[in-house]
Every structure is written in structure tokens, then in C-alpha cells.
Amino acid sequence: MQRLKIDHLLKTYPNGVKALDNVSLQIGNGMFGLLGPNGAGKSSLMKILATLLQPDSGNVFFDETDIGTNPHFLRSRLGYLPQDFGVYPRISAAELLEHLAVLKGITNRADRKQQVAALLQQTNLYENRKQAVSTFSGGMRQRFGIAQALLGNPQLIIADEPTAGLDPLERNRFHDLLSEIGEQVVVLLSTHIVEDVHDLCPEMAVLIGGQLVLKGKPSALTEKLRGRVWQKTVSKDALAVLKSNNHVISTRFIGGSTQVHILSDVQPDSGFRLVEPGLEDVYFSTIFGNQRPGNRQAI
């Protein structure tokens, strides 16, 4: 069942930037990954879904309720993890969580205490509960962000670029935490990190220049590229020539030379070998094919 329905959203900022250009999307329970490069419009969409920003036109429904006319319906069911909280007060993690629980309407004191303690345990912050959030590391702040987003058993969880700036260990811990949230709620994860979607999300979409250009299951989207992704290790000079004649989807510098991936129906030259396509190939070939607005094919 599709619980979150996004219907023809348009958003242009006063400076003329069209951040969302007719975005429609339907999302059911489980983790959904929204991938897009910087400036694609992900945060604008997340803010509209979190009722922090008004679209110029279009509608958002959650469980059949229009959140434009009934924002409280969503707010009471929402857990929002923004890109950055901005300010971190000097009070302890437990106190801050308790305070946020009150704001979320958890009025029963015993209930609140129990939820705060359970969430601190779940996010592995219980030992640090008396420490001020302002002294937390980036990873601890993100885990605290998840703890506050989970207060009040939300039905829709929105996480906006939650792993940007985390080291690999903290990213893994964060992934484990997100995947524990379960299949019974809608989790929308916005990111420009392909691995986040690969590791966590059974469904995904790609947003570029305010338009949705791709949607599906990562495995199915990857499968579509089978037999068309070619790899070769080349020098810098050879790369420039390849780029002018081929559909280069990604380059990676390894030990002084460059590993290049090309999308092609035929072997580009005898040095290339076919490789198993990955989600990065899907993402980069989508970006490549949609770089210019004239080339863009919204879905």
C-alpha cells in the first residue's frame, strides 16, 4: 500500500530557481532512497514533506490525508532528521531528548522517561546521556538526531543527507540503526551517497534539476545495464580521448592511473572488459544522460 503520495509538486524560490519541477511519487512502508547531486532539490522536497516549506502548487497526502490542509495530521506522525540542526544547546542529551519529547506531545511523564531511556539505549548513547549534545562528535550527533526523530513512534521518517560527513565506522553504525527501524513505517532517505541507497533501500528514485528522472528497485535498475558497462585502466591522456568519443559514466583514480567505466552496447576497444554493473553505474549514467535540461526526461 502506498502511504505517501506526492502529487505534481512545483516550487520556485523568489530568486527564480526552480527547485521542484512537477514531482510526483508514491511511497509505501520500508526504506526509500532519494538520490540526487547537490542542488537537485532533495532538501526542498524533504522540507515540503516535513511541512516546513509550502509548495507553489501540488499536493502531498499521507494515509489519504492532505497535509497541505491538515499539516497537524502529519506533524504528529513525523520524525524528521534535518541535514543540520544548526544549534546544539549545552544541556545534556537526556534533558534535550526529554524536552523534545514534550514538544512532540508525549505528555505522560512515565511514558516519556521510558521512551527517552529506550531511544538512548537504541542509539548507543545511553552512556553519554549526561553529556552536553554540543560536545558530541558528528556521528554521535547523527545518532542523537535519529533518537529525536524516533520519539513518539512516527509513521513517516525523513532523513535528509544523514551520513554526509560521517566516517565509515559511524556510517555503518548509522546504517544498522536505520535498518532496525523496520518495515512498518515509511522511511525516506535523501542522499547523494550511492552506497547508502545500495545498502539500505529496496526502492529508490533519482532527482536531477528538480525533476524525477528514474525510479525503481536498485537491483532491477542495475540489471538493465547488464552487458553494457565496460571497464579499462587508462592514463590521463588516454582518458581525455576516451571522454570525447564515448559515454564515460565514471572514473576512479587508483594507484596513479584511472579506472574508467563506459556505457556501450559494443566493446569500445579491445582493452575493455565487461563488468558487473553496480548502482554507481546506474546513478552516474543517469546523471550523464540528464546533464542538460534539454536532454532531461522526467518520469
Ligand X SMILES: Nc1ncnc2c1ncn2[C@@H]1O[C@H](COP(=O)(O)OP(=O)(O)OP(=O)(O)O)[C@@H](O)[C@H]1O
Where do contacts with ligand X occur on this chain (CB under 6 A)?
13, 15, 17, 19, 36, 38-44, 192
Nearer to ligand X, 171 or 192 (CB): 192
Min. distance of Cβ 116 from ligand X in angstroms?
30
Chain position carrying cell 539500505: 200
Min. distance of Cβ 291 from ligand X in angstroms?
15
Nearer to ligand X, 39 or 216 (CB): 39
Nearer to ligand X, 14 or 294 (CB): 14
Nearer to ligand X, 42 or 232 (CB): 42
Chain position carrying cell 505534481: 8
Min. distance of Cβ 167 from ligand X in angstroms?
20
Whose CA is closest to 67, among 41, 82, 49? 49
Nearer to ligand X, 41 or 218 (CB): 41
Could you give the angle at which helices 138-150 and 109-122 cross, rounded to 10 degrees? 140
- Pairing mode, strands 211-216 and 203-208: antiparallel
Min. distance of Cβ 181 from ligand X in angstroms?
22
Q: Cα(21)–Cα(32) distance, rounded to whole angstroms?
A: 20
Min. distance of Cβ 21 from ligand X in angstroms?
11
- Pairing mode, strands 186-191 and 30-35: parallel
Cα-based angle 101, 105, 110 (whole degrees, multiple of 5)? 60
Min. distance of Cβ 275 from ligand X in angstroms?
28
Nearer to ligand X, 40 or 248 (CB): 40
